[in-house]
Amino acid sequence: MNGNMRGDTAIDLGHARPGRNRVRSLPCMLQEIYASASLHVQLASHRVLPVLREVWQAVQMARVR
């Protein structure tokens, strides 16, 4: 995984850097895909959960009134 935020991974053979061999075994590629997806879920959760919490609190406040 190259670590950028767009979701590109090191397994993208079409964008491999010249001079570097990016061919990997299937288990290695699957692990990188899983790690990338997991990171994106964590990042999304980090951003979405606080907003959902605020919405939930607003709904609770509206019910109390």
Q: For 7-42, what is each residue's pLDDT tens digit?
A: 444 444 444 455 555 667 888 877 888 888 888 888
- 49 found inside a domain: yes
Report d(CA 9, CA 22) in Å as an integer. 11
Total domains, the chain: 1
Residue 8 inside a domain? The answer is no
Q: Is the pLDDT of residue 65 over 70?
A: yes
Which residue carries 């999304």 as its tokens?
Answer: 44
In a domain? residue 17: yes
Q: Which residue has the higher pLDDT, 43 or 21?
A: 43
More reliable by pLDDT, 54 or 18: 54
A 10 A CB-CB count for 34 gives 10
Whether residue 3 is contained in a domain is answered as no
Contact 18, 49 (CB under 8 A): no
User: What tokens appear for 8 in the block?
Assistant: 């590109």
> Residue 37 falls within a domain, yes or no?
yes
Residue 48 domain boundaries: 13-64
Question: Is 6 among the domain residues?
Answer: no
Asked whether residue 23 is assigned to any structural domain, the reply reads yes
Q: Is residue 24 situated within a structural domain?
A: yes
